[in-house]
Amino acid sequence: MAILETIRIKASQRPRTIILPESDDNRTIDAVNIILDKRIAKITLIGREEIKKRIISRNANEVTLIDPATYAETDKMVAQYYEMRKSKGMTEDEARQVVTGDYVTFGALLVRNGLADGFVAGANHTTPDVIRAALRCLSIDRSVGTVSGAFLMEVPNSPFGEKGVFIFADCGVNPDPNANQLAGIAISSARLFKKLTGAEPRVALLSYSSKGSSGGEMVKKVVEAVKKAQESAPELIIDGEFQVDSALVQEVARTKCAESPVAGRANVLIFPDLNSGNISYKIVQRLANARAVGPILQGFTKSCSDLSRGCIVDDIVDAAAITSLMAS
């Protein structure tokens, strides 16, 4: 069974409440119908009452619809947001405009206040829009200390990774993470892989060098990150630095990194910067016909996921399932 179908089934066994704030997007409504029919998650939509008429699922009556203009708790949420942002120069009127006008921020505030378990957005918002709402409204997990964006990759007919399944990170947030941030990204990504697949994560921090085969400041950063991650999470299998073939291909690993517990067997790939991560996931997605779901936002105490504005309906469904499973 494909991993994404497995995740949908897992999520349905203990469905969580997920907010989909982009109710004006047809893809969101189509996704809601699938999510409800398969009972993948409980859904809260943000928007006007007429939106419910577009939900044709036999479980349509189970959707919660919240309109910020009429919601009883909106004034409290405006006051809360103002308190959070006034040190940045925001006025009360500006806070009200954001909370009532930006449904992604409104959804993130609902999650912050425990009225939902997570949110998924990005079908018609940019990644910076979604991340900004999460950063302003949700708490950062101090045990990790770094927010990042991971992709669940499923590569058909691949002998690598976990039968073609990988986590790639960071592919969406940090342009040039330092060693501490890379270590946090590695730890978050390992835990995410375990949560979604149930398999043992084997985390490779990637570089243009394999175990000292080359030098330079970029390599030093990755080496330091490996050490920090191993010290912070000794229970996880994390190693590096690796060239990507050393991380994935056992024949290459036996030559270059024979003693490593990760080399040749990696299923979690941590990229040294956003350029390499973003380019790599898109190359694999297009050239290998892989499914890429994300960026799944990591490093918060609550669950949330971003979407590509070019997403299809199944991407929204799968992001909701992943976000629900993360919250369980």
For residue 81, the domain's CATH number is 3.40.50.10950
Task: Say whether both 58 and 115 belong to one domain.
Answer: yes
294 within a domain of the structure (yes/no): no
**pLDDT in the model for residue 290:** 94
Task: Say whether both 124 and 152 belong to one domain.
Answer: no
Confidence (pTM): 0.89
**pLDDT in the model for residue 1:** 60
d(CA 222, CA 219): 5
State the residue range of the domain holding 255: 148-287
23 within a domain of the structure (yes/no): yes
- Tell me how many domains the chain contains: 2
Task: Say whether both 129 and 182 belong to one domain.
Answer: no
133 within a domain of the structure (yes/no): yes
Task: Say whether both 193 and 104 belong to one domain.
Answer: no
CB 213 within 8 A of CB 222: no
Task: Say whether both 276 and 158 belong to one domain.
Answer: yes
d(CA 117, CA 83): 23
296, containing H or E segment: strand 291-298
Task: Say whether both 12 and 95 belong to one domain.
Answer: yes
Task: Say whether both 242 and 310 belong to one domain.
Answer: no
Task: Say whether both 185 and 278 belong to one domain.
Answer: yes
**pLDDT in the model for residue 240:** 85
Q: Which of 114, 107, 109, 104 is nearest to 82 (CA)?
A: 109
CB 290 within 8 A of CB 156: yes
Task: Say whether both 272 and 307 belong to one domain.
Answer: no
Tokens of 234: 């000794």
CATH code, 259: 3.40.50.10750
Task: Say whether both 172 and 72 belong to one domain.
Answer: no
**pLDDT in the model for residue 214:** 87
Task: Say whether both 39 and 67 belong to one domain.
Answer: yes
295 within a domain of the structure (yes/no): no
293 within a domain of the structure (yes/no): no
Phi-psi region of 164 (alpha: psi -120 to 50; beta: other; left: phi over 0): left
- Per residue in 195-224, pLDDT (tens digit) is 999 999 999 999 999 988 888 999 999 999
292 within a domain of the structure (yes/no): no
Task: Say whether both 133 and 96 belong to one domain.
Answer: yes
Q: What is the mean pLDDT of each run of 10 residues along the chain (328 residues)?
A: 89 94 91 93 90 77 87 92 90 92 93 94 91 91 88 94 95 93 96 94 96 89 96 95 94 90 96 96 95 90 90 93 91
80 within a domain of the structure (yes/no): yes
258 within a domain of the structure (yes/no): yes
Q: How far apart are the first and last CA of the chain?
A: 22
In the sheet that holds 202-206, the strands lie side by side as 64-66, 42-46, 17-20, 118-121, 303-306, 291-298, 148-154, 165-169, 268-270, 202-206, 237-242
**pLDDT in the model for residue 116:** 94
